[in-house]
Chains A and B, each alone.
Chain A
């Protein structure tokens, strides 16, 4: 890994930490908070690409695990990895990877702005919603014994918020691509 890639990965992990400073919104009926940190995860994938994006998220989770209060609301420690919403947290890594992989395939430099934004949106939604929520639901159902169908129903409450985040991620990714392109190009 080149030093620049190492630094980009670390800086993005730091951006994800900073996004967590915005206080999370608690919805009463399901034990998962809504926070801008998952927006940071989508951004890591779509801006840095699959490998560096997933590594940035992994680094962020590593710092949380060793007891630094980097998660939204100043949380951290090993407890968050066994709590009911832990699947969403661990799912961040494959989420960023998939978002990056899809962006690398769908988005190219010569395309129109609209197509690039659409590509980034699909990528962010596939990674940040489909993959992350899938892992979230599996762990929620398993750890609490509430069963898949109820976990799925509860999860639906977070889909609209995350669709909004995927849209923000897509617009931001396109702007960053214009200002400072980093995404590895694949043909």
Chain B
């Protein structure tokens, strides 16, 4: 899996990740408090300025925006149809501003930086005995490690069914996929414990 983080050194990359996350939360709240087009348009422009200077190149930047823009435009059309033009413009600007700010943060905060922030956020939980911060990192790594294995298994099951002349169907593929994958849990857990990865 290739992360959406963009490995460059723009001015936004140099800002502390925590600051960027705080700004994003503040912006998210602010755009819902604002309901006039002018301040929202300014927010959207500021978002665009951040997003397009986050170092990903124009082409990649536009490619990432398309799925989000499709939903935003659909919402705006829906609003235009059933409500007023002013409300449609407000919804369009508000959502666009949010998407742009969020996209900029995603492109400029690395997976490692995110994990550090998550570990920090998990510290109170750890002190309360509810979760272990190190486990969050281990679990995340396990997902990234085993997604390609499960995809490979999915393809193998589909092929095996095709070889037997069965047209691959959702349920017939899903059941062996889940059972075989979950059965691995025992041996993976045994390996983790045998290597002493987790503190008692």
Q: Do chains A and B touch in the complex (CB under 8 A)?
A: yes
A172 on the B face (CB < 8 A):
yes
A176–B99 CB distance below 8 A: no
Report how far A70 CA is from B71 CA in the complex, Å. 19
- Report whether A4 and B67 are in contact in the complex, using a CB–CB cutoff of 8 Å: no
- A152 CB–B CB distance under 8 Å: no
> Which of A15, A154, A171 has the most chain B CB atoms closer than 10 A to its own CB?
A15
Q: Can you show 23 pairs from A to B with CB atoms below 8 A apart? A: A4-B185, A4-B186, A7-B192, A10-B139, A10-B143, A13-B139, A17-B143, A18-B147, A66-B109, A67-B5, A67-B107, A68-B144, A75-B67, A79-B103, A79-B106, A82-B102, A84-B95, A144-B79, A145-B79, A146-B78, A172-B175, A175-B175, A176-B179
Q: Please provide the 10 A-B residue pairs with the shortest distance between their CB atoms, ordered closest to farther.
A: A77-B106, A10-B142, A66-B114, A79-B102, A31-B71, A78-B102, A67-B4, A31-B74, A4-B189, A82-B98
Chain B residues near A179: list those with CB within 8 A: 175, 179
For chain A, the count of residues having a C-beta within 8 Å of the partner chain is: 62
B107: A residues at CB distance < 8 A: 67, 77
**Hey, which chain A residues are within 8 Å of B181, CB to CB?**
11, 14-15
A76 touches B106 (CB 8 A): yes
Given A21-B151, A31-B74, A146-B78, A77 and B103 contact (CB-CB distance below 8 Å): yes
| Given A3-B189, A145-B87, CB of A63 within 8 Å of CB of B2 | no
Interface of chain A, main secondary structure: helix
B62 at interface, CB cutoff 8 A: no
Would you give the shortest CB distance from B174 to chain A, in whole angstroms?
Answer: 5
Besides the known contacts A82-B95, A154-B78, 16 further A-B residue pairs in the complex with CB atoms under 8 A apart: A1-B135, A8-B185, A11-B150, A18-B150, A18-B151, A26-B70, A31-B74, A31-B78, A68-B1, A68-B3, A68-B144, A82-B28, A145-B83, A145-B87, A172-B175, A175-B175
User: Can you list, as one digit per residue, whether each of B113-152 has a CB less than 8 Å from chain A (1) or not (0)?
Assistant: 0110010000000000000100110111011101100110
Of B94, B178, B186, which one neighbours A47 at CB under 8 angstroms? B178
How many A-B pairs have beta carbons closer than 8 Å: the answer is 195
A6, B135: Cβ atoms under 8 Å?
A: yes
Q: Hey, which chain A residues are within 8 Å of B103, CB to CB?
A: 77-79
Q: What A residues does B99 contact at CB under 8 A?
A: 79, 82-83
Let me know if B179 and A73 touch, CB within 8 A.
no
Asked if A43 and B83 sit within 8 Å, CB to CB, the answer is no
Give the complex CA separation of A43 and B177 in angstroms.
12
Flag A1-44 by CB within 8 Å of B: 1 or 0 each. 11110111111111101100100001000111000100000010
**B12 interfacial contact with A, CB 8 Å:** no
